[in-house]
Amino acid sequence: MTYAKKSRESEGRRVKLFKNGRNQAVRIPRGLELPGEEAILRKEGERLILEPVGRPDLHELLKSLEPIEEDFPPIDDLPPEPVDL
């Protein structure tokens, strides 16, 4: 990417706004598409910030799960079967 193009993108690009039913939508130009099917939209002052939804890491996923309360049946600890080498 050239310096001029990088500078232009950091300044922002003019985009088209349109109505989709009762919602306002924006056309995201090619080259600025976000990955995935969802994004996070938040407002900071007069700015709207649109960010891709990151994949949750395993630690966050495990923290979100409810503990298992059921008792598991005992498992017989059998010796391994002999192997003929």
- pLDDT tens column, 20-76: 999 999 999 988 999 888 899 999 999 999 999 887 788 888 889 999 889 989 999
Please compute the mean of the pLDDT values over residues 9-26 and round it to a whole number. Answer: 87
> What's the first-to-final CA gap in the chain, in angstroms?
60
CA 4, chain centre distance (Å) = 30
pLDDT of residue 16: 92
pLDDT of residue 28: 92
